[in-house]
Structure 1
Amino acid sequence: MTATGASEGVGARGAPIGGPWWWARRRSAVLDASLAAASTVECLLEGASFAHGADLPELLGMLLGLLVGPVLLVRRRWPVVVVLVSIAVMPAEMGGLLSVVGLYTLAASDVPRRITALLAGMTVTGTLVTTFLSMRQDIASQPDFNPPVWLVPVMALALGLVLTAPPVLWGLYVGARRRLVESLRERADGLERELSLLADRAEERAEWARNEERTRIAREMHDVVAHRVSLMVVHAAALQAVALKDPEKASKNAALVGDMGRQALTELREMLGVLRTAEGSAVRGAAGADVPERLAAVASRVRAQEATEGAPDRSAVKSSSAVEGDPDGPCLDDLGDLVGQSRAAGMVVELSVDGDEVAESSRPRYAARVERTVYRVVQEALTNVHKHAPGARARVRLAHREGELAVQVENGPCEGGAADAGLPSGGNGLVGMRERVTALGGVFVSGPTDTGGFRVSAVLPTPQPAPHVAG
């Protein structure tokens, strides 16, 4: 709206105007043109009648009517001007349609209510005075007619209210309804924008969740397969070295490599089966929501099988238990078996535990995620030693502290000048360790040592250790 109450040229929901000049629609322009034509005809007739009664040339009265009638064309643009013109021509007893339509447009516009009330009062007063003087003149011209004194004022007041109150009240109603509809439209537009933003954010969160889940799945697959395959390569190298010198040891190493290969393939198939099950679900429900947990359960077979190599019956029992879903997965108790596998592959590994003076049965157990993360850090660090520092001595240190659990894996320089075992590396081992540790609010540090070796350190917070349950 402008200062005079005119509506800006916009349609529904902010759409641009489709009509000429200040009209929002062409049909509005046609309506105003029709009202202006009817008002012009009325003013022409009333102007000629006024000029005849005032002993003025009829052409002058008709010219006045021709100027006043078309003012309705600007009623939407300047409603105040239309009402003021209707008030100005009231003494000439012309402009009835102009006054009614002008008051309606003024009341329906956004002109301040005090201005609307003032102009409506002026219209009532002008109509009252004009009607009173006209009726007194008509009564004076009829000597035989003697009405009561109160009749003329009452009739003048009634006529003024009839010509003023209905268009003003109807205009106020239409204006209020129009503003209500506009506010509802604006609210609907706001809700649409908010829903669009929420949908965009939901899509971003879903994409982030998918990326996070892919990262976790990749990390679990790396932890399950990489360590075992690395040991297979180390054993294969040892097999090649002793094939001719010690056939019995070579046969044992060959059987061990075959077992490790079969176990790695079995674990890989189980992981791919979990992924296919999750991808087949149209909606991410119970089957898809626990994919990382199910992968962790499959990954726990590494701990079950590695800890029982050489004992087929016991391994089969633990493997079947892991397939059903081990909620904890690898834990601190399996570090000894993990270190033993590296020793069996020819690595010299030392395992030391600080703060472990109490008996194992009464020692506190940490959250499953904390113990599993420590196990994976040690596993990946030893795998890197096999890959990049064959023949080097390694030391694994575990420290139980108040409110935290620390682990460190350090290896010395390669022996015999060998710099690398020739194993492929994707560079994801250290990244995966860092992601696991930082996800639990811990600190991870890795880097070379002054003696030419490499060190991996992680400190994990343990705010609420759970008591160990035997059995």
Structure 2
Amino acid sequence: MTTTGEDHRAALTGPWWWPRRRSAVLDVTLAALSSIECASQGADFAGGVGLPSGAGLVFGMLVGAVLLVRRRWPVAVVLVAIAVTPAEMGFLLGVVGLYSLAASEAPRRIIAGLAGMSLLGALIVFYVRTEQEAAAGALPAEGWFVLFIALTMSLGLTAPPVLLGLYVGARRRLMESLRERADSLERELQLLAERAEERAEWARSEERTRIAREMHDVVAHRVSLMVVHAAALQAVARKDPEKAVRNAALVGDMGRQALSELREMLGVLRTGEGSVSTAQGAGSVPLAAVGAAAAAAASRAAGDGGVPVGDGPCLADLDELVGQSRVAGMAVVLSVEGELRAYAAAVEQTAFRVVQEALTNVHKHAAGARTHVRLAHRTSEIAMQVENEAPPVDGEGAAARLPSGGNGLVGMRERVSALGGVFVSGPTDSGGFRVSAVIPRGV
């Protein structure tokens, strides 16, 4: 199991400059061994040159204790080891110092320079000692043999610690780089997870908005016609019983269709809630299913008998849509310009929805007003306009007005803008209201 850089830094609990307590224990142990070695060699050197052995002993202990700062100041340790080389003391100090220097972050030229000085000092010392032993008869007196022994001993004391230190330093830097990379990747993964959650939340919000828009389009138009027929039924109930019966039958049919569509949508919602635990992305799967159900119900809203029309409403259903409004008592004039062309399904559905919602708004806010529906087929786009005149001021028109949630125009604008079209709405100079939209062909 690997640790990240933050975990590694959190584990650095050693005293002073030591990263860990065990590192401090190791350096204290090495310093103690080096002090013992240097004290023994210092006492021998002091006796050989006529100095008190105690002075050499104390000096050797102080020199060996320099290993305590090998992690903090490795250059100083190597310089001290080079300085005491002529006294033939501090071999452990030199070996550990060279290793610490090579493993540190010191520049390569400093490591090479100090290693060369240490090699040269050890070569001279070993050459002199080997030649003295050869002169005393302990070793062969040939010059090449003396040089070979001195060179081998000096390389043995300098090359291995330097090479090992370089390897350990490179490995340490690699591990630190890997820890930093792991930290960076962890941060990136965290950011990606946060962005993915934001995108999922945005997708869920968009899907909920789309479902609300579909339900509004499916139900609002039919319920609006029901209210209009109910108002007409109330007005003619005593004057024309036969017409009242027909209006009552229409209201009943539309009510049953609206209930059927709502029941299907709510059924899909309940089914989606039951499948949340088994589907990944539980927030988006049920919503998509509801959106599909809403689109299917919307296709049935275009027909009078509740029969699905393809995968959704299309421009061919405009005549039937206008006919429903005429039956409800609205004076609607439909005019079509240009030749019928093939459009993308989304374009036809959006065009139908714009006209449907505009007619619904006329039923709500201008009951009884004369309305003009214009559709223009152009080369690369389709244009539609629904314009009503000023509503009548008689009591019947006022009674037919319906409450509004204020979302119809917003939904139309969102639909048209999603397809790259242009939507404009506003009152006319004559007191009416106009809704216009232009949608690219999309095929």
Query: TM-score surpassing 0.5?
Result: yes
Between 56-65 and 286-295, the greater mean CA deviation after superposition: 286-295
3-state SS of 1:150 partner: helix
1:97 aligns with 2:92: yes
- Residue equivalent to 2:333: 350
CA distance in 1, matches of 2:6, 2:323: 80
Going from structure 1 to structure 2, the CA distance change for 1:388 and 1:176 (only over 3 Å counts) comes to same
Kept after mapping to 1: 8 A contact 2:347/2:442: no
CA RMSD of the aligned region, Å?
2.1
CA distance in 2, matches of 1:461, 1:261: 36
Size of the alignment, in residue pairs? 432
1:453 aligns with 2:427: no
- Residue equivalent to 1:364: 341
- Residue equivalent to 1:248: 242
Point out where structure 2 has 5 or more consecutive residues left out of the alignment: none
Going from structure 1 to structure 2, the CA distance change for 1:369 and 1:144 (only over 3 Å counts) comes to closer
- Residue equivalent to 2:405: 426
1:437 aligns with 2:416: yes
Alignment-mate amino acid for residue 406 of structure 1: A
Point out where structure 1 has 5 or more consecutive residues left out of the alignment: 1-9, 307-314, 357-362, 465-471
Kept after mapping to 1: 8 A contact 2:347/2:419: yes
Kept after mapping to 2: 8 A contact 1:11/1:17: no
Kept after mapping to 1: 8 A contact 2:372/2:388: yes
TM-fit CA distance, 1:172:
1.5
Between 18-27 and 170-179, the greater mean CA deviation after superposition: 170-179
* Equivalent of 1:18 in 13, 20, 39: 13
1:40 aligns with 2:40: no
* Equivalent of 1:407 in 384, 387, 396: 384
1:190 aligns with 2:184: yes
* Equivalent of 1:68 in 63, 79, 96: 63
CA distance in 1, matches of 2:442, 2:375: 18
Between 277-286 and 219-228, the greater mean CA deviation after superposition: 277-286
CA distance in 2, matches of 1:234, 1:198: 53
Kept after mapping to 1: 8 A contact 2:338/2:376: yes
Going from structure 1 to structure 2, the CA distance change for 1:28 and 1:208 (only over 3 Å counts) comes to same
Q: What does residue range 2-401 of structure 1 map to in structure 2 within 5 Å?
A: 13-15=8-10, 17-140=12-135, 142=136, 147-281=141-275, 282-283=278-279, 288=286, 289=288, 291-304=290-303, 306=304, 315=305, 319=307, 321=308, 326-327=310-311, 329-356=312-339, 363-401=340-378
Kept after mapping to 2: 8 A contact 1:42/1:69: yes
TM-fit CA distance, 1:367:
1.0
CA distance in 1, matches of 2:206, 2:198: 12
CA distance in 1, matches of 2:146, 2:272: 91
TM, length-normalised to structure 2: 0.92
Kept after mapping to 2: 8 A contact 1:389/1:420: no
3-state SS of 1:77 partner: coil
TM-fit CA distance, 1:11:
7.5
Kept after mapping to 1: 8 A contact 2:78/2:94: yes
3-state SS of 2:217 partner: helix
3-state SS of 1:409 partner: strand
Going from structure 1 to structure 2, the CA distance change for 1:462 and 1:220 (only over 3 Å counts) comes to same
CA distance in 1, matches of 2:134, 2:68: 38
Going from structure 1 to structure 2, the CA distance change for 1:67 and 1:11 (only over 3 Å counts) comes to farther
TM-fit CA distance, 1:243:
0.9
TM-fit CA distance, 1:395:
0.8
Identity %: 68
